[in-house]
Amino acid sequence: MDDIILACNVYSYGAYRQRAFEHMQAIGIAYAEVSIGKPEDAEAWLSQVEPYSIRFSSVICPCDVSSDEGAEAFAGIVQAVRRMGASIAFVSVHAGELPLPDVYRRLRRMGDIAQELGVKVAMETHPDMVTNGDVALGTMQAIVHPNVGINFDTANIYYYNEGRDAADELRKVLPHVFSVHLKDTNGKPRTWYFPTLGQGVVNFPEVFRLLLEHGFRGPFTLELEGIEGENLTEEQQLQRVAQSYAHVQAIVEACKTGR
């Protein structure tokens, strides 16, 4: 299991994002997730990360499924992702009133584009196409593309649904998971409460067990979105990242040793 990729979303640092790469390197996180709005944004990120021994594992990308032209324009985005050295293009897709057959076809086209460059497209756990395990599975069965899959978000399952459990939902889509957001929650729908990992209801040991036994090795990305109304100091924010990473490391070590 030495090939497991543990990463951190730079926005986990909140108002102190300028400390992200420095702090990640100091605590041993070797991979980062960042976002681009247009292909040219890649150069700025490459410049920022250059002084550090950190690589990009995934990139949050725009994804326009409203037209065939939007699907073709995805080529520039994927080229930027590849230039950044990442293998995952993270997208949020909302079909809304668009005809689903058109959305599926455009996502397949995006998958073709990504496949040519060795990139996988991971759809976030968001309504209305990856709301939960059942919806996500239906979407994957409709798209049927080897380079289009899911970013499984451990907390969004609770945020967008009632009466669902992250591990239970994960079991339904294991073969389709390309990336994972590690985010904790108090379990209440539509409640912005995403604390330090291990301080909420998500059963992270079971999530890791399921994924690792299935052969998934990452990226597992810390996504620490905080708690509504809190105002952390820089020290507290960095401590949240460090404690969350330590929590994940302990789980991975336990999986390695079979404890």
Residue 50, phi-psi category: left (phi > 0), alpha (psi -120 to 50), beta (remainder): alpha
The full set of domain ranges for the chain reads 6-257
- Residue in the structure block whose two tokens are 């999986």: 255
Could you confirm whether domain 6-257 is CATH 3.20.20.150? yes
Tokens of 70: 């939007």
pTM: 0.96
* Residue 2 confidence (pLDDT): 72
* Residue 257 confidence (pLDDT): 81
* Residue 259 confidence (pLDDT): 64
* Residue 1 confidence (pLDDT): 53
The residue ranges of the chain whose pLDDT is under 50 are none
Per DSSP, the residues of 184-224 read ---S-TT--EE-STTSSS--HHHHHHHHHHHT----EEE--
